[in-house]
């Protein structure tokens, strides 16, 4: 997966929720008045479930924000999200806005974008690479990921190979398992069949140039 992400400055104003249907999947996503992506859900054949997925991912209250059918300008984004969900490679430019996230949370998200398709890392390994105190902290941050698939939190699993929850719910493990399986990771039940085979080691020195000690382009509303 290679997605180019642009971070822009300026005032933040949530303004539109879009619904799209592609290849039998519904997907919802949230943009601000500048057209920047603020959150996206995960595709699902049932529109109610797809809506639930956006609710799980959004960093703000959606009350009062209009729901619109997807416009043509977002077709590349929607198609890319569906391809990523199907485990495929996708190239797309995304203008997005981090909202209500700390620098630590943003760096966790940036770090997981280095995990290749078809590989996984663990919450413990990710915590060590980022110098964080606890794998549970990493798990909590990833459970609130506003951009699943773009920032592939599904590629982070437990140290015992159990894949864990997804989008803040243990009950959604099967969604995570399905994405990993389509990316080429062998899943048996709720576990990566061979963690050693699929493990990707994140190293602190390799992440230094990729992460940031400051975040001038983040909205905290």
Element (H, E) at 168: none
Q: Where are the beta strands (DSSP E) in the chain?
A: 2-7, 14-22, 25-32, 37-40, 67-69, 91-96, 98-99, 121-122, 156-157, 187-188, 191-192, 218-219
For 59-211, where are the E strands, in sequence order? Answer: 67-69, 91-96, 98-99, 121-122, 156-157, 187-188, 191-192
Q: Which of these, 142, 118, 150, lies nearest to 37 by C-alpha position?
A: 150
Beta bridge partners of 39: 30
What tokens does 178 get? 């399905």
Say if CB 180 and CB 156 are below 8 A apart. no
CB 32 within 8 A of CB 14: yes
Q: For residue 153, indicate whether it is catalytic.
A: yes
Pair 149, 39: CB distance under 8 Å: no
Q: Which of 6, 57, 70, 153 is catalytic?
A: 153
Nearest alpha-carbon partner for 112 in 60, 153, 140, 72: 153
Residues labelled as active-site residues: 153
């Amino acid at each position: 997966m290679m997605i180019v992400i642009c971070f822009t400055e300026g005032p933040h104003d949530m303004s539109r929720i879009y619904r799209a249907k592609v290849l039998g999947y519904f997907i919802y996503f949230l943009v601000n008045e500048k057209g920047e992506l603020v959150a996206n859900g995960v595709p699902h054949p049932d529109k109610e479930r797809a809506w639930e997925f956006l609710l799980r991912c959004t960093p703000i209250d959606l009350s009062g924000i209009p729901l619109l059918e997807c416009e043509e300008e977002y077709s590349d984004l929607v198609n890319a999200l569906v391809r990523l969900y199907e485990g495929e490679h996708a190239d797309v430019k995304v203008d997005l806005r981090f909202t209500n996230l700390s620098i630590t949370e943003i760096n966790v998200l940036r770090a997981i974008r280095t995990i290749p398709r078809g590989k996984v890392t663990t919450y413990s390994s990710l915590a060590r690479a980022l110098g964080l105190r606890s794998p549970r902290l990493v798990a909590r941050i990833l459970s609130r990921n506003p951009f699943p698939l773009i920032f592939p939190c599904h590629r982070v699993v437990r140290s015992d190979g159990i894949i864990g929850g997804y989008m803040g719910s243990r009950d959604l493990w099967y969604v995570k398992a399905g994405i990993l399986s389509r990316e080429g990771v062998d899943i048996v039940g709720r576990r990566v069949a061979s963690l050693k085979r699929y493990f990707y080691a994140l190293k602190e020195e390799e992440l230094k140039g990729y992460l940031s000690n400051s975040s001038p382009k983040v909205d905290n509303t």
